[in-house]
Structures are given as C-alpha cells and as structure tokens.
Amino acid sequence: MRVLGARPAGATALHLDDDLDPRGRLVVVGNGMAGARFVEEVLERGGGDQFRITVFGDEPHGNYNRIMLSPVLAGESSEDEIVLNPHDWYTDNGIDLRAGVRVERIDTAAKQVHAADGSVTGYDHLVLATGSYSFVPPMAGVRRDDGSLLSGVYGFRTIDETRAMLEATSRCTRAVVMGGGLLGLEAARALQGHGLQVELVHAMPWLMNAQLDAEAGAILKRSVESLGITVHLDVLATEVLGADSVEGVVLKDGRRLDCDLLVVAAGVRPHTDVAVRSGLEVQRAIVVDDQLRTDDPDVYAIGECAQHRGEVYGLVAPAWEHAKVLADVLTGTDPAADYTGSRTATKLKVAGVDVAVMGVSTPERDDDEFLVISEPKRGVHLSVVIRDDRLVGATLLGDTRKVAFLTQAFDRGAPLPEERIRLLVDLSDGAAEVGVAEMPADSQVCNCNGVSKGDICGAVGGGCGSVGEVMDRTRAGKGCGSCTSLVKQIVEWAADGELAEDPAASYYVPGVPMPKPELIRAIREHDLRSVSAVFATLAPNGKDDARSKMGLTSLLKMVWGHDHIPEKDAEFINDRVHGNIQRDGTFSVVPQMKGGVTTPAQLRRIAEVAEKYEVPMVKVTGGQRIDLLGVRKEDLPAMWSDLGMPSGYAYGKSMRTVKTCVGSDFCRFGLDDSTQLGIDLETRFQGIESPAKIKMAVVGCPRNCAEAYVKDVGVVAVGSGRWEVYVGGAAGATVRKGDLLATVDSPQAVMTLTGRFLQYYRENANWLERTYDFVPRVGLDKIKRVLLEDAEGLCADLDAGIQRAIDAYRDPWGQDAAEPATPGQFRPALPLVALPKVPVR
C-alpha cells in the first residue's frame, strides 16, 4: 500500500536521549484533523521548546484532509493534493510520529500509554483526538463470521476506504448508499460520477434531517433525484444479500435493491474504546470541561471524540477551535482560555446541488424572526432565523449567493440590514458587501486548506493579480470549493480595484464581464453583430481579449444566425480554414458523409484526391467518416474543389456527425429505418454551431450498434414506429449514458424535439460545456418540462431559433474554395524549421 505523505526511503531521524531532555512529554493519540492541528497550534506558540511531542496514529499515513475524501472519491482531487502534513513535517519539527500504531489503553496512574506494538510511552500531558468511525447499523449478513464487513460493503471515513471504493467503481455498476446526510449525499454523487447507477436509502422522512426542515428536505430530494439518483426515504435496510460479495439489500418493507457496492454512511460514532478502557468518563463521547480536560487532570480530549456541555460535534470547525483553546492552555499562552461551544455551519460538497446551513433551521422562541423564501419549482429554499437582531440560523438551498455575507453575520454577529429580505436576496442597489472589510485578518476563509483572510491579502500584496492566481498561490478555494465566493470578495477588496480579469469567474468568456444570459441580453439590446463591436461596447475599456473571441463568435452566430457580421480574426484557426489543425501545423480534411453512408463513386473520388495531394494518412474515424490527415493549408481549397463534397465539420464547436446502424433495410434485428433518420438529422442540423461539439447517433434497435446511448443526442428505435430520444450522453474522457428525454412516435417528432433541445442547449450552456455537463446541471426534469410541456412558454421561440440557424447554413468549403474569405486565408503559416514529425504509415 502506498503511504500518503510518506518519507522518502532511507531517511532517518535523530532523537535526543530521553533522560537528558528537560522538556515535558506531550503525547497525542490520533493523527487526524484535530490531533495534527493541535500539534500545529502548539508549535506556533513556541511549544516545540516546551514539549517533546509524540503522536500516535492508527492510520499509517501522514496527516490528510479528511473533508477532501469526497472530492477524491469523485475523482476531482488527487490523493497527493489532500496531504496536510507529510511524515517529513513531523521529522522536521522534531515530532515523534508513530504512524500505523494503535494505542490500546492508558495507565492514568502511571501516566503511560500502551500501544499495540507493545511500546509503553510516558506522558506529562495526554491528548485524545481519536475521532469517529462509521457506524454500521445492525443488518443481517453485513458482516462475515470474523466480524469484518462483507466484500463490497464500505464505510466512508478514511483514505483506505476511499481507495477501496475507487478501485471498486471500475468493476461495479450499481451502488446503494445508506444514509441521506451530508456524507451519504456526497458519496452517492461521487459514485454516480463514475458511471454507477446509485440508489440512496435514508431511514428518516427527509434528506439531511439533521440540518434541514421537512420542506427544504423535500426540495433537496427533488434536486438530488434530478441528478439521476433514486431516493428511498423513511425506510430501514434490514438485510444485506450476497455470500462472498454484496449482491443487494433488503428493505424493511420487503423491497430488494440489487447492488454490487454498498456504502454505509448512516452516521458516525466517537472512538471511545481507549478512554473507556482507561477508566475515563464517557457518555456519548469522552466528557470534557471548558478547557477540554477529562476527569483526569492530565488527560484531554478534542475533536469528534470529545463531548462538551452535552454536545458532540461532527464537523471540523469545532475540532479546530478545540485545538486552539487547548494549545493556549497547555503552552501557557493563555492559561485561562476556555471553550464554550461552537455554532456550526456546513455546506454540501455536491456539484449541482447547493446547500449551506448554519445554526438553527426553524424558530425556537416566540419572538424569533423567521423569513422564508421557497420556490420549489426552481429547487430554491432560503430561510433565516433572527434572534435579538442577530442571525442565529440560515438555510440556503439551490442558491448560495448570499452565503458569504450570512456566514459573516452568523460567525461574528455582524449587524443585519433593516429590511431582512436583503439577507436573502440582492435588491440591487449596491449596498451589499458588508463584512469582508471588517473580518479580522486571522479568520479562516478556506477550511479545507487552512487559509486565512491574511494569507489571501498577503498573496494579493505579493503580486497576485487575479482571483485565480491567488487561489493557485494560497490554495484557498482549491478544496471543496465552497469558499470560492468569499475568496473572490476578499481578493477584490484587498486589490482595491487593481484586479485583472478573472477567467475563473462566472463570465461566459473571460474578456466580457457578464454571464451568458446577461451577455445575450446586452448583445440584443445594443444590436451588436460582430465580435469587435461586442468588445468595443461591453468589454472593460473596450479592450479585446484573444481567449474570448472564439466563444463570442459562436454566441453571435447563435443570436443572429445569418445576420451576424463575421470576422475571421475572431475565429480559431480551425474555423478560419475549416479544418482541424494538427500537431505539425497541417490540417485534416473530413468530408461530410451523412449517417456514415457513402458510395463507390465517393470513395473513388476520395482515393484520387488523397493520391493527388499526397495525403500522408487516410483514416476511418469513430464518427463513421473518412479523415485525410496531414494536408497543407495551401492545398485545402483545391482539395475541396476536387472532392466536391461539403465539409463534415470535424473541427468546429458545432454539430459534427450522426452515426447510424444499418437499421431495418438490411439488419435482421432492425426495428426501424435508423439510417434514413440519421441522414435526415445530419441534413437538418449540419454545421450548427453550439457551445461545444455535438455528436449524434441513431440506432434501429436497443442493441445500440451505433452507440446512441452515449451521444449528445441519441435516438433509439423501439418498434411500432416509436423512437426514444436520449440526451447528455458521452463516451470520451467522460463516459455517461444519456438521459431519456422522451419517447416519440414519428421521425418528424424526433427532428422537432432534437431541434428544440439543441437550441435550448445553445442558448443556455456555458462556453465549452458539453451536454453531459449541461443536462445534469440544468436537471432532466426541468429540461423535460421546458421542452415537452412548454412550461416556460419557450418552445415556439426555440423552434424559430433553430430554424434561423438552419437557414443560415452555408457549406464553408464550397464558399471559401470559390473565393477566399480574407487575403491569404490559405497562405502557409508553417515556418521552415523542422516541426515534430507526425509518423506517416
């Protein structure tokens, strides 16, 4: 096994002879988020001179960021990114790390720690930071005879469990996640991202019941289901099936859910066994006073294993507060420091479902103020609870724009606006942004990577000119991402207007500071028809931006169709010369071959052209066409003329190809004429530009020979003249099965629905956002309502919009071969220097 944060082999450390060391002995049990942070706090207070520090950790790894296991499971972060303190850090600071060594009991009378490796270590002060473990509810069959979990069943607490699950995702197809709290939801979404079909079983009547009220929970359920996760509420799992490996679970009501992976995220229980064995007072967790002291005066407990004033916390912020207070007390920096409890706030780290909660969720006293905005249709539910003019609770679901301000108000009791509604919505008079300026420099902004406001300001002072640079430098916001908006506000405040444009922002393109809907509105309002006009009117100081041009060109074509004013320099080279640039500066030529159907005459012509222009490689593509690779730019127009075939658009952010199977004409299984429908689709939507490339396929039966289930738009004949239309599929770097949008009963209906979907995607997707991101982001339910039920009254406009694009279609090869669009359009740009040679077969 690879040890996270391991020391390079061969490194050794020197130890001072124990007897000669005058320093006190400080022993920490548990090398998790509380334990390691506590050691950091001690060192920061100069405790390295006061104490000889020994840390026991049951896990063999250095200290890592447990919160970040969710993004690791989702494949969004790598293991190395979540290391907080590698083994080297301990050595460098003179700390004796006993990684992989479990403590078994403490002899409080002799003041000694007994560990599983047989060692006995004396202490003057002992800190228990043993955290929690995943609670596995009693279910028949969940454990093997030896007490270990059945193969395929996992808790979600450690890097080792996360690794095991990641490894399992490659062979598993169906997962059941037990538990509908933060952890369960994050696990479910992460597994789904690996292509597993996921069902979530929650014993309570609504999701996240610890943080949300029933109404918000119901809205959350809908958002989660729209991601494609099935949710079963108010039901217990009673049995786990499978002899060698999990095959399913049985619910109390008798239903059986098949699965080959089971994640148990049904709550955690504090690790208290060591404390119990050592005779310390344990109730739900290890009982401590306001100085984190147990009933033994030299033993302390912090983090999730501690119970303070009746509370046991399951979040990292309280653990870090414990660490601070205890470091103050033990180092004598502030011997009177005390901890009086934490007010907790959490965010759900699930892409596509924004949830942030803090404090209480409902009013508790008669004179509590309570404000709720609920828009179940949009999946939005916002509420605040105010007591004595202070914010004591907030719930933000589906819209977390105000979270930065609310967190400030909640944490620091910042004054609240008279009009309470301003807490939840911007009434756009610019009076927002209270807080950032008043935040103390040492207040933590990014909990994942432990970055304070001061660190961020330091990075700005040190020359970082954009939010992105600051994030790169400090790693703020690079964890779960939930603090990004606060980081942005602080950077803006610290830079005081000196900020460069930030490509990471929500802008459609980096050079024009507007999100897509606003940009489209402005383009229409000012009648901007060329990219240079957009820059002149809408960009800061009218300044153009190379990286924004391609996206703007695409957008203008979408908005104006044939009436946009083309500007060659606003296009990427591929679109300028209608070919795909290759690594050696040559281009590829892919003629249109609708539905993948060709003729001997066409093949003959392609063969002749390939020979005439000495094309180094001829290749059949995955999109059922023929690719001529390695063509010199100056040869392009002549080749197109000789070919006499239209462009296949193999280079553009546009509709590219429609693959088909042979359908009912020849195939003995074919249920319908998929070939003809594919040809018709390609004819209708050829060359339509879109936020990212679009690939389609039509198959004549569910055997799916042309892979329609994994296309941006996939059409499947199901017999009796009926067709299923799938959207949002992908089989590239991301693999995703499309979502069934509708089953329709004629090829004409397929064409209409496809057009509507394309236009909706063109109007609403971000630049370069593929349908496989777009569909889950918007939500299948919403897309269905808009496109099938016309819930927003958009269908007529969508139909007209796509028709405008279809009418604007011109074959670029035919057009530019006849007459270049600009002088020297096909002039060689290739220098005479030797380029990397693409091997010629």
Ligand X SMILES: Cc1cc2nc3c(=O)[nH]c(=O)nc-3n(C[C@H](O)[C@H](O)[C@H](O)COP(=O)(O)OP(=O)(O)OC[C@H]3O[C@@H](n4cnc5c(N)ncnc54)[C@H](O)[C@@H]3O)c2cc1C
Among positions 183, 207, 758, 786, the unique one binding ligand X when judged by CB under 6 A: 183
Identify the CA nearest to 293 among candidates 435, 429, 141, 128: 128
- Residues in contact with other proteins, shown as a per-residue x/- string from 806 to 835 under the rule CB under 8 A: ----------------xxx--xxxxxxxxx
Give 825's strand partners. Answer: none
Q: Measure the N-to-C terminal CA separation of the chain; round to a whole number of Å.
A: 42
Nearer to other proteins, 546 or 818 (CB): 546
- State which amino acid sits at residue 7: R
Among positions 81, 96, 213, 544, the unique one binding other proteins when judged by CB under 8 A: 544
Which does residue 57 touch among ligand X, other proteins, none (CB within 5 to 8 A, set by kind)? ligand X
Which does residue 66 touch among ligand X, other proteins, none (CB within 5 to 8 A, set by kind)? ligand X
Instruction: Supply the minimum distance, in Å, between the C-beta of residue 731 and ligand X.
Output: 29
- Residues in contact with ligand X, shown as a per-residue x/- string from 480 to 509 under the rule CB under 6 A: x-----------------------------
Among positions 353, 512, 570, 698, the unique one binding other proteins when judged by CB under 8 A: 570
Q: Is 480 annotated as a binding residue?
A: no
Which does residue 29 touch among ligand X, other proteins, none (CB within 5 to 8 A, set by kind)? ligand X
Residues 6 or more apart whose CB falls under 8 angstroms from that of 38 comprise: 28, 127, 129, 302, 322, 323, 326, 327
* Parallel/antiparallel/unpaired status of strands 580-581 and 261-264: unpaired
* DSSP symbol at 410: H
Could you say whether residue 513 binds other proteins (CB under 8 A)?
no
Could you say whether residue 303 binds ligand X (CB under 6 A)?
yes
Find the Cα–Cα–Cα–Cα dihedral 237, 242, 247, 252, rounded to 10°. -20
How far apart CA 517 and CA 526 sit, in angstroms, is: 14
Instruction: Supply the minimum distance, in Å, between the C-beta of residue 824 and other proteins.
Output: 5
Q: Is 457 annotated as a binding residue?
A: no
Nearer to ligand X, 32 or 637 (CB): 32
For residues 104 and 271, the answer to whether their CB atoms sit within 8 Å is no
b/e burial code for range 640-678 (CB count within 10 A of at least 16 → b) = bebbebbbbbbbbbbbbbbbbbbbbeebeebbbbbbbbb
Contact set for ligand X, span 329-358 (CB under 6 A): 346, 349
Instruction: Supply the minimum distance, in Å, between the C-beta of residue 631 and other proteins.
Output: 14
Among positions 440, 836, 839, 841, the unique one binding other proteins when judged by CB under 8 A: 836
Could you say whether residue 547 binds other proteins (CB under 8 A)?
yes
The tokens of 543 are what?
């300044």
Among positions 6, 251, 371, 573, the unique one binding other proteins when judged by CB under 8 A: 573
Q: Is 305 annotated as a binding residue?
A: no
Q: Is 661 annotated as a binding residue?
A: yes
Instruction: Supply the minimum distance, in Å, between the C-beta of residue 315 and ligand X.
Output: 3
Could you say whether residue 475 binds ligand X (CB under 6 A)?
no
Could you say whether residue 316 binds ligand X (CB under 6 A)?
yes
| Contact window for other proteins (CB under 8 A) among 14-22, 271-279, 570-578, 691-699 | 570-578
For residues 71 and 479, the answer to whether their CB atoms sit within 8 Å is yes
How far apart CA 485 and CA 495 sit, in angstroms, is: 15
* Parallel/antiparallel/unpaired status of strands 24-29 and 125-128: parallel
Rounded to 5 degrees, φ, ψ at 810 are: -130, 140
Packed helices 484-495 and 453-461: angle between N→C axes, nearest 10 degrees: 50
Among positions 87, 114, 271, 549, the unique one binding other proteins when judged by CB under 8 A: 549
Kindly tell me the burial class for residue 322, based on how many C-beta atoms sit within 10 Å of its own C-beta (0-12, 13-18, 19 or more): buried
Nearer to ligand X, 150 or 319 (CB): 319
Among positions 7, 26, 30, 501, the unique one binding ligand X when judged by CB under 6 A: 30
Q: Is 30 left (phi over 0), alpha (psi -120 to 50) or beta?
A: left
Among positions 3, 166, 235, 315, the unique one binding ligand X when judged by CB under 6 A: 315
User: How many CB atoms sit inside 10 A of residue 526's CB?
Assistant: 13
How far apart CA 648 and CA 474 sit, in angstroms, is: 46
Nearer to other proteins, 235 or 536 (CB): 536
**Considering all CA atoms of the chain, what is the largest pairwise distance in Å, rounded to the nearest integer?**
96
Nearer to other proteins, 262 or 534 (CB): 534
> Which residues of 101-152 form beta strands (DSSP E)?
103-107, 112-115, 120-122, 125-128, 132-134
| Contact window for other proteins (CB under 8 A) among 35-43, 156-164, 541-549, 792-800 | 541-549
Could you say whether residue 583 binds other proteins (CB under 8 A)?
yes
Give 257's strand partners. Answer: 249
Q: Under DSSP, is residue 122 helix (H, G, I), strand (E, B) or coil?
A: strand
Q: Under DSSP, is residue 633 helix (H, G, I), strand (E, B) or coil?
A: helix
How far apart CA 153 and CA 239 sit, in angstroms, is: 12
| Angle at alpha carbon of residue 258, lines to 254 and 260, rounded to 5° | 140
For residues 53 and 42, the answer to whether their CB atoms sit within 8 Å is yes
Could you say whether residue 421 binds other proteins (CB under 8 A)?
no
User: How many CB atoms sit inside 10 A of residue 473's CB?
Assistant: 17
Nearer to ligand X, 69 or 798 (CB): 69
Which does residue 48 touch among other proteins, ligand X, none (CB within 5 to 8 A, set by kind)? none
Give 418's strand partners. Answer: none
How far apart CA 361 and CA 379 sit, in angstroms, is: 17
Instruction: Supply the minimum distance, in Å, between the C-beta of residue 820 and other proteins.
Output: 10
Nearer to other proteins, 109 or 833 (CB): 833
Contact set for ligand X, span 34-73 (CB under 6 A): 34-35, 56-59, 66-67, 69-70
Instruction: Supply the minimum distance, in Å, between the C-beta of residue 481 and other proteins.
Output: 23
The tokens of 604 are what?
């003959």
Residues touching other proteins: how many (CB under 8 A)? 33
| Contact window for ligand X (CB under 6 A) among 172-180, 310-318, 333-341, 807-815 | 310-318
Which does residue 103 touch among other proteins, ligand X, none (CB within 5 to 8 A, set by kind)? ligand X
How far apart CA 466 and CA 452 sit, in angstroms, is: 17
* DSSP symbol at 151: B
Nearer to other proteins, 543 or 619 (CB): 543
Binding residues for siroheme: 705
Instruction: Give residues in contact with other proteins (CB under 8 A).
Output: 511, 532, 543-547, 549-550, 567-570, 572-573, 576, 581, 583-585, 822-824, 827-836
Annotated binding site for [4Fe-4S] cluster: 661, 667, 701, 705
| Residues found near ligand X in the complex (CB under 6 A) | 29-35, 56-59, 66-67, 69-70, 102-103, 129-132, 156-157, 183, 271, 274, 303-305, 314-317, 319, 346, 349, 480
Which residues are annotated binding-site positions?
661, 667, 701, 705
